[in-house]
Amino acid sequence: MRVKSRSEEVVNAIGKDIVNGVISPGERLPKVEELSEDYGVSRTVMREALQGLAARKIIRANQRSGTVVLPRNEWQLWDLSVMSWLSESEQRNEKFLLDLTEVRLGLEPDAAALAAKNATEEEKAKITACFERLEQTLDDPKAWAAADYDFHLSIIEATNNQLMAGLLKLLHKGLILSREKTVTSLNEHTELQQEQPTTEILNRHRNLYEAVISGDAEQAKSVMTDMILRVRQLIEATQEQQI
Amino acid sequence: MRVKSRSEEVVNAIGKDIVNGVISPGERLPKVEELSEDYGVSRTVMREALQGLAARKIIRANQRSGTVVLPRNEWQLWDLSVMSWLSESEQRNEKFLLDLTEVRLGLEPDAAALAAKNATEEEKAKITACFERLEQTLDDPKAWAAADYDFHLSIIEATNNQLMAGLLKLLHKGLILSREKTVTSLNEHTELQQEQPTTEILNRHRNLYEAVISGDAEQAKSVMTDMILRVRQLIEATQEQQI
DNA sequence: AATTATTTGTCCGTATGTATG
DNA sequence: CCATACATACGGACAAATAAT
């Protein structure tokens, strides 16, 4: 298990505070010396932490005038740490989930089409292995969720477009984070959040799988679109139930 | 003018070296003391720089066993610094441009549709102002390029989806970086790289503009798709000419 | 299983640079 | 143009982790 360094811990602590509005955009942070006292770390560690936040465009340091929180639209949202802070944030977690799904809807069908067109034999073998794992874990929701993740990943990685693959990998991790949070916050509805694996869903995956393997880009795109639309409906339905 | 700190300079220097293969994934970096000597900075600064690279998942530091370069697929490509290193990289800059365009093709038509559906009056006014600037700069390619950027941005920001907006903003910046590099590396073909503003192109923008303002999501999506496809053809044509 | 060597991680005293009032 | 307040930079010391012996 990887141990977090102190600067990482501080990055997370301050990052969460900013996301949750404890410190708002435009406001100034205390000076480094104070901050390091507040968090019980040395100035060195605090400076490294601030640099970590600056790299994510959460803050900007200015000599003499101090370090300020940048406006929200500057933040580097496509960063796993930032996403985890957002998904843990109390407010509007569902909006975050829907926004992610919107992006997913734009990209993943295209990614599936690219995979159908570009996948090498090696990549196809990996996709096949992942699909077979899906078939075998139909009765174990937890194992199925993991297998589902890997299945989608194997398709994403076959796109031969690293930019798209990197993005979708991050997106899927964000989806998991966000779903985890939603599930734990209202565990009465757990069955709804965790997509229940059924033979019907497996068949959808089979359609996608066969389209990709046979190189049918149009079909792969269309099946993927339907799959994501279904997930979105599920999210929206759960949301309404919350009211 | 903003002055770069030393650690930022070092981040860029090492980042570029890694992207250009001077140091390859899996390889170990010299220890901090050596590095700080090599680059003529203190260990403090070097540590901050390494933290900046670690935040972008370019490297990982391990106690005792040293700091290693992570595999390419771990890199945080959706980061302006990383994109700038990639676009300056000699090798396969065109692939980078095409990959970006692929992602753009997935997202921006959807973004246009969302903007048509969700834009507030205020946002529509901004889009209108940007479009009028386009009309006025038809005879000045440089001013037109800037106006074109702002026009697309004004639509992106009207999506009411911060995740998508942040992504597309980054993507457009990446496109500009990459195009700049391509243009300077082969300035014989400048006319081809820089899309020449014509009344026909303006009319395409007008179609997009009117679709968004009138709330016709389908039309907005379709026009945007056509526009990006044209750009892609242009890139591919220029590429073939290079051979 | 215990020891050592190597490298990152942490702390702090001090000095310099820079934008603001 | 000066003073002030802050970030930035330096370097020596020590702590912690872990690969090698």
Mean pLDDT of B108-133: 96
Looking at beta carbons, which pairs linking B215-218 to residues 24 or more positions away fall under 8 Å?
B215/B116, B215/B117, B216/B116, B217/B112, B217/B113, B217/B114, B217/B116, B217/B117, B218/B113
Show the domains of chain A with their CATH numbers.
Answer: 6-74 (1.10.10.10), 92-242 (1.20.120.530)
Give the pLDDT score at A185.
Answer: 59
Number of alpha carbons in the 13 Å side-chain half-sphere of residue B168: 29
Q: Enter the pTM of the model.
A: 0.89
Look at B99 and A56 and tell me if their CB atoms are within 8 Å. no
Give pLDDT tens digits for B6-57.
Answer: 999 999 999 999 999 999 999 999 999 999 999 999 999 999 999 999 999 9
Give the pLDDT score at A94.
Answer: 81
Distance from CA of A165 to the nearest CA of B (A): 8
pLDDT, averaged across chain B = 90
Query: Tokens representing B132?
Result: 């009028």
Chain B environment of A76 (Cβ under 8 Å): 79, 166
Query: Amino acid identity, residue A62?
Result: N
Query: Tokens representing B36?
Result: 């700080």
Give the lowest-confidence range in A206-215, B23-32, B186-195, B204-213: B186-195
Residues of chain A with pLDDT under 70: 1-3, 90, 92, 183-196, 240-243
Mutation for B interface: A86, A95, A103, A168, most B CBs within 10 A: A103
Would you call B97 helix, strand, or coil by DSSP? helix
Residue of A nearest to B47 (CA): A48
Look at B99 and A161 and tell me if their CB atoms are within 8 Å. yes
Would you call A60 helix, strand, or coil by DSSP? strand
Distance from CA of B203 to the nearest CA of A (A): 26
Look at B7 and A51 and tell me if their CB atoms are within 8 Å. yes
Give pLDDT tens digits for B83-118.
Answer: 999 988 877 678 889 999 999 999 999 999 999 999
Give the pLDDT score at B150.
Answer: 95
Strand D bases near protein CB (under 7 Å) are 4-13, 16-19
